[in-house]
Amino acid sequence: MNQERWKKIDELFEAALARQGEARAEFLKGECGDDVTLRQEVESLLAHQQPTGRFIPTMIQEAAELLPFESSALSRRRDARFIPGTVIAGRYRVIGLLGKGGMGEVYRADDLKLAQAVALKFLPEKLAQDKTMRERFHREVRIARQISHPNVCRVFDIGEAQGQTFLSMEYIDGEDLATLLRRIGRLPESKAVEIAAQLCSGLAAAHSEGVLHRDLKPANVMIDGRGRAKITDFGLAGLAEDFEGAEVRAGTPAYMAPEQLAGKEVTARSDIYALGLVLYEVFTGKKVFTASSFDELMRLHESSQPPSISEHAKGVDPLVERVILRCLERDPQNRPVSVSQVAAALPGGDPLAAAIAAGETPSPEMVAAAPKKGALKPAIALSCLVGGIAMLVFMMFASMRVSPQNRIPFNKSAEVLSEKANEIINKFGYTDAPAERHYRFYADYSYFDYYVREDSSPKKFANIESGQPLFCVFIERQSPNTFEVRMTGNGLWAFDSQAESGQRTISLDTRGRLVEFSAVPPQFAEQSDTKADFSTAFQAAELNLAKFKDVSPNWTPPNAFDERKAWEGSMPDNEEIPLRVETASFQGKIVFFKLIYPWTKPDSDGSLTYTTRDWVGVFVFFGILWGIIVTAIFLAWKNLKSGSGDRKGAFKVSLAVFVLTFLGWVFSLNHVPSFFPELDRITLGFRSALYLSVLTCIMYLALEPIVRRNLPDLIVSWNRLLAGEFADPLVGRDVLLGTLVGTGHITLIYAGFYTERLVHGDFRFYFFTGALVSLRSWTAGVLSIAGGGFAYGLMFICILAVLFLLFRRRLFAGLVIFTLMVTVQILLFTQSWVYLPFTLTIATILCLAIARLGLMTMVVAQTVFMWLESTLLTTNFSAWYASGMLLTMGLIIALLAYGCKISLANQSLLGDRLLKDV
């Protein structure tokens, strides 16, 4: 636009201003004719004219730009108000006119006092007489001087010369961004990212002072000789509360936000919208919207979607396009909350640091986009991999000394023992095939409680190596009808009491010897005088009846009987231990057989006795547990109400927990070809999975916003995983370290028990009867444990988040967690001083993982811990349970290998060291 063009626009504006309605429209149509651009400029002026004087106190798109003059010196001298060499205010020597626009003239001058180049800005002569414009000029100086930043043009002072007001500012040897883009098109992407970051930095500095620019556009951005961007022209800037009414619409329409065009409001997010328009041009060389009239421009801003950046520029980073399109959201609430967030989302930005510095809560997407790479050095990654495998090997060897499965006769699998049980039942006369059966191993601690707590000598432990006294027992229940299953407190499923006719339950030791049998007689039966042959039961128990003497029975069978007998003798493997045998029969069939040891108690006396220490431990543990649940419910409700909860992330996590837990139940339950019993079982699994998934969802909604606001580094890898970035180095690092923490936890337990055995000389044990033994139980256990791992990992982070809110220091929160862990461990699990160092080490490792590595690490650690805890370990690979162990080991090694490879971020594991000497 040249001077003649601007003069014509000014004349048409003055003439149109005196007309109204249709008269004005007819006048413009006749004067502008087919010149659409001319009419658009005049209409823009009319739309934004203010009732504060003859001239409008705002700028429009072209009128506000500094107008470059012709290159000839003659033209410059003719248009310039001050000729070169003129000394203004006794201090500034004019070098030449830099430019001229609707809002002023700018000269280059030398500051004679400070001996540096400056720029002097004068109001146009006709605007200098307007009181409102002079006020605005003074305000520009006041506001601009508040902002000191390398990417903002500095304003020095204000003065007067020959009755003209001027301001002195930083001289920028370069060109404005609008001219640069017209000259070269779009900037190279690397330079565009650099300029975008500088614009964000400068605009953020203004916003930090509460100043809105309101006229951010390429013409108001200078690029100096070193390629740095500087935001200029704060003539329309001010505080948000200063703008109301018609003042809201001041600015350049083409770079206004929809709410500003509509005259509703102007906020920091309005500047962010303008920033998005500028960045769009920087990366594409094209304007977002091109309109032939002001009305069309408003319609485009309010209803049209910006064209994709990829339509104009190929290969632009998706991060760039995503953040620019967010800036250009029509609804201000959907735009980034601050310029810092825009800068953070650009390639190379730091979303967490920027958001936290601005006092904001970063979004899950921002957390996932954090620049923390997470790649490990090859030596560290390899050490973690080797260390994890070494710990697995150590546990296998330690298990030979401290795990019962490697000390007792445990050569028969559950399937083999089930066959043995059926043989015995058939010999007892129960030849009908059951409709359903269920079996598993159970731990029997009665011998340990009876003898070992009083006398833990090695001989007492050695007694179990023959299979009896019992430490592990196989139990099978059979029924002529399908079972009525129910859920038990330990997460397993069990049966109601045996009461239905035809049901029978048999217990065997691990060698397959009969320990106990009971059967429910038929409800209707003819009278019979047939006597039972109890020798069959003695043979099944591998007892010599001749070595037992008859005694009066004193144990009442649980079901109906017509004959009852008892014997006393001694255990065949340990003759010093007395043994009593109680039996009963009904019409010639054995309905009750039980080996009674000195430590056997009636069911009514079988409740566990707790010491004061036990009760304290239980109360502390469940106090923490229920405290977490109640606090989580409150915080989840609060976060949902405030809208800060990550509902999408919570849904993904709870869905994963539900699917894994439900599938675990499907594999663990017996399935029968009967609709309603099967429906009951599926419903039971559904309820269990729903319960755990809802609990997980509540904890996630409760802690995730708190962690995201205060400790976002703990969930960076977690959010990347939720976003599907499985190959991210940080995800790999945390999976690797989580696997290492879980493996190390179990390793320390084995090491502690092994040390106790060396010190005390007795048999310290570590045994989990719900082991991952058969392929079916292994699949069920792996799935359900993985589902539970989410909940347990979240629980630890939830404790940290709540404690952080209380203490506002991560260190203090970690120390409290350490204290709670050690207290619970000592009260419930530590039996001697020998184990105490291992307790402290376990608590230390877990606290460091919680406070420094975060959610992903803890979820993986808890999952791996429970997998190993429920696996029977051995070095005897021919053992029937070795297959389950190898599957678990393979799964854990796969996690270690995955974490090691991904955490390297494509680095060579051995580097080029092996090739240096070649």
Catalytic site positions: 215
> Of 322, 347, 330, 327, whose CA–CA distance to 338 is shortest?
327
Which of 246, 276, 241 minimizes the C-alpha distance to 51?
246
Measured between alpha carbons, how far is residue 906 from residues 368, 729, 901, 910 in Å? 20, 9, 8, 12
Of 156, 198, 154, residue with least CA distance to 177? 198
Rounded CA separation 496/94 (Å): 101
Token reading at 795: 């629980």
Peptide bond just before 469 cis, omega within 30 deg: yes
Cα–Cα distance measured from residue 372 to residue 121, given in angstroms and rounded to the nearest whole number: 45
CA distance 28 to 14: 12
Query: For residues 671 and 780, what is the distance between their CA atoms, to the nearest angstrom?
Result: 14
**Element (H or E) spanning 41, and its range?**
helix 36-47
Phi-psi region of 363 (alpha: psi -120 to 50; beta: other; left: phi over 0): beta
- DSSP letters spanning 788-814: HHHHHHHHHHHHHHHHHHHHS-HHHHH
Q: Summarize the chain as % helix, strand, coil (round to 5).
A: 55, 15, 35
User: Would the CA dihedral through 328, 332, 337, 340 be positive or negative?
Assistant: positive
Helix (H, G, I), strand (E, B) or coil at 477: strand
Return d(Cα 688, Cα 766) in angstroms, integer: 28
Distance in angstroms (rounded) separating the CA atoms of residues 891 and 885? 10
Tokens of 881: 């349970």
Do 124 and 175 form a contact (C-beta atoms < 8 A)?
A: no
Residue with tokens 């730091």: 350
- Residue 107, strand partner residues: 97, 120
Give me the helices (H) in 87-188, please: 125-128, 131-144, 177-184
The strand ranges marked E within 89-188 are 92-101, 104-111, 116-122, 155-161, 164-170, 174-176
3-state secondary structure of 533: coil
Rounded Cα gap, residues 380 and 377, in angstroms: 5
In this structure, the strands spanning 578-586 and 92-101 are: unpaired
Phi, psi of 855 (to 5 degrees): -65, -50
